[in-house]
Amino acid sequence: MRDTFHAELANVSLADAMHGLSDPLRLRIVELLANQGETECSDIYNTLDISKSNASHHFRVLRECGILLRLHRGQKQSARLRADEFEERFPGLLRAVLDNINSA
Amino acid sequence: MRDTFHAELANVSLADAMHGLSDPLRLRIVELLANQGETECSDIYNTLDISKSNASHHFRVLRECGILLRLHRGQKQSARLRADEFEERFPGLLRAVLDNINSA
């Protein structure tokens, strides 16, 4: 069920994608999801020690650039990367970013 | 001769680098320089049909994120990518971006 806005990746430009990945906190969210797979949103903002509202802002930006999917699981919400779709739209980009997060 | 500000790449974060590459016009400048090598600044803004002041702003952002070097050649100024240094700092990132510029 997708009742929140998710981008059509075909409509996401490279500049949009780069913008989505241009914030230190968003990079930490992406790293966490790349490592853990689907994760409850509350776990994400607790793990990163950020407020729910701050996290929500960044989740939205990541959804709008097509990299994050928000999912409703009963009373809870979770998020996961759209890694395969993103790879199809921007080959090699997410891998290069993740490699540089890990080594930075 | 480097009398304009150029970033120490060791001090450029991944988020900074991503920000530098998150604008459509900056991506076009990077693409042009990747294809042509060192290019007179006036040629760049004429080729891209943008104002000198607009180009100067984007040149500055690209210098600050460590990807562009501005060079004084007599009365003229030129620019080139710091491709090797950027590759050393962020392995694979510029290549992934350029591949996606070309195919986008």
- E strands along chain B, which residues? 39-40, 68-73, 76-81
Instruction: Write down all domains in chain A, each with its CATH number in brackets.
Output: 12-103 (1.10.10.10)
- Are the CB atoms for A64 and A5 separated by under 8 Å? yes
Of B18, B19, B24, the CB nearest to A13: B24
- How high is the pLDDT of residue A103? 67
Query: Would you call A22 and B18 a contact, using CB atoms and an 8 Å cutoff?
Result: yes
Q: What pLDDT digit, counting tens, does each position of B73-85 carry? A: 899 999 999 999 9
Residues in CB range of B10: below 8 A, 6 or more apart: B89
- State the pLDDT confidence band at B7, using cuts at 50, 70 and 90: confident
CB neighbours of residue B4 within 10 Å: 13
Query: Is residue A3 predicted with pLDDT exceeding 50?
Result: no
A59: nearest Cα among A73, A49, A44, A72:
A44
A67: nearest Cα among A15, A41, A30, A100:
A30
Q: What is the ipTM of this complex?
A: 0.90
Instruction: Give the Cα separation of A70 and A63 in Å (integer).
Output: 8
Give me B89's structure tokens: 């700092």
Of B13, B21, B91, the CB nearest to A18: B21
Question: What angle do helix axes B93-103 and B24-36 make, rounded to 10 degrees?
Answer: 100
Q: Give the least confident one: B8-17, B19-28, B95-104.
A: B95-104
Instruction: Kindly give the residue spans of alpha helices, DSSP state H, lying in A1-104.
Output: 14-20, 24-36, 41-47, 52-64, 83-89, 93-103
- State the pLDDT confidence band at B3, using cuts at 50, 70 and 90: very low
| A100 contacts in chain B (CB < 8 Å) | 14, 90-93
- How high is the pLDDT of residue A101? 92
Query: Would you call A13 and B104 a contact, using CB atoms and an 8 Å cutoff?
Result: yes
Distance from CA of A2 to the nearest CA of B (A): 27
- State the pLDDT confidence band at A104, using cuts at 50, 70 and 90: low
Sign of CA dihedral A95, B98, A5, A62: positive
Q: What pLDDT digit, counting tens, does each position of A65-79 carry? A: 999 999 998 999 999
